[in-house]
Chains A and B, each alone.
Chain A
Amino acid sequence: AQTVTQSQPEMSVQEAETVTLSCTYDTSESDYYLFWYKQPPSRQMILVIRQEAYKQQNATENRFSVNFQKAAKSFSLKISDSQLGDAAMYFCAYRSINNNDMRFGAGTRLTVKP
């Protein structure tokens, strides 16, 4: 079974600075999808960014970008120009192309300091 590991329970960043959240995963599959979700205090899960494993180019969405290292099975999230509204729990998730369900990491709580 696939597992997703987020080794940073908590991270803190100064407003306007850059922060990187780590995620590693374990799989024997060659093709799959990876996601970063944000969960603010409202508990609503919000998609931040996604990456298809067959794509070598790292995904980017405005201030959010990933560093996808397939061989190392690493999928980190970089948040640039951090804003107060970025404060939330961030979950890394894996989805096989053969299965519908997602497997989530334990999450990283991001605090943004003004």
Chain B
Amino acid sequence: GAVVSQHPSRVICKSGTSVKIECRSLDFQATTMFWYRQFPKQSLMLMATSNEGSKATYEQGVEKDKFLINHASLTLSTLTVTSAHPEDSSFYICSARTPTGTGTEAFFGQGTRLTVV
């Protein structure tokens, strides 16, 4: 299947700093990528839909100024957590769908565990 690579897998940052997480589709072009947040022992909550060449679409309740998403190319989307605070500590997962076919599953990155201290 298609491969989605997410980097870094773990990051610890100080409160008030910004952290960038990258999501790359390695063997296909992804016009759309998705960013999820997962709290411990909970499900994946969609944060935003990242569209190549245009502004991301954020889910209700997600602060777009805090979670900056950039999808500058067909293989790369980035999520920047700005002015991070301890409550932003979580597991962040990206996914992408292959552009061909219908009903294809989303391929997921391996996730990023963010810890803000």
Inter-subunit contact A91/B32 (CB<8 Å): no
The 9 closest A-B pairs by CB, nearest first: A45-B108, A33-B103, A47-B105, A104-B43, A43-B111, A104-B44, A106-B43, A100-B32, A44-B110
CA gap between A4 and B49 in the complex, in Å: 19
Within B39-58, which residues are at the interface with A (CB < 8 Å)?
42-46, 49
Shortest A33–chain B CB gap in Å is 5
Inter-subunit contact A45/B49 (CB<8 Å): no
**A interface with B by C-beta (< 8 Å):** 33, 35, 42-45, 47, 50, 52, 91, 95, 97, 100-107
* Of B19-27, B64-72, B90-98, the one touching chain A: B90-98
B100 contacts the other chain (Cβ, under 8 Å)? no
* In the complex, chain B residues whose CB is within 8 Å of the CB of A35: 105
Inter-subunit contact B103/A45 (CB<8 Å): no
CA gap between A107 and B36 in the complex, in Å: 15
Size of the chain B interface, CB-CB below 8 angstroms? 22
Shortest B36–chain A CB gap in Å is 8
11 more contacts with CB within 8 A, not counting A35-B105, A102-B95, are A43-B110, A43-B111, A45-B108, A47-B105, A50-B103, A91-B43, A91-B44, A95-B106, A101-B34, A102-B106, A106-B43
CA gap between A113 and B42 in the complex, in Å: 23
Shortest B31–chain A CB gap in Å is 9
Inter-subunit contact A52/B103 (CB<8 Å): yes
Return the chain B residue nearest A42 by Cβ: B110
14 contacts between A and B (CB under 8 A): A33-B103, A43-B93, A43-B110, A44-B110, A45-B95, A50-B105, A52-B103, A95-B106, A97-B103, A100-B49, A102-B34, A102-B95, A106-B43, A107-B42
CA gap between A42 and B110 in the complex, in Å: 8
* In the complex, chain A residues whose CB is within 8 Å of the CB of B106: 95, 102
Return the chain A residue nearest B9 by Cβ: A43
* In the complex, chain B residues whose CB is within 8 Å of the CB of A107: 42-43
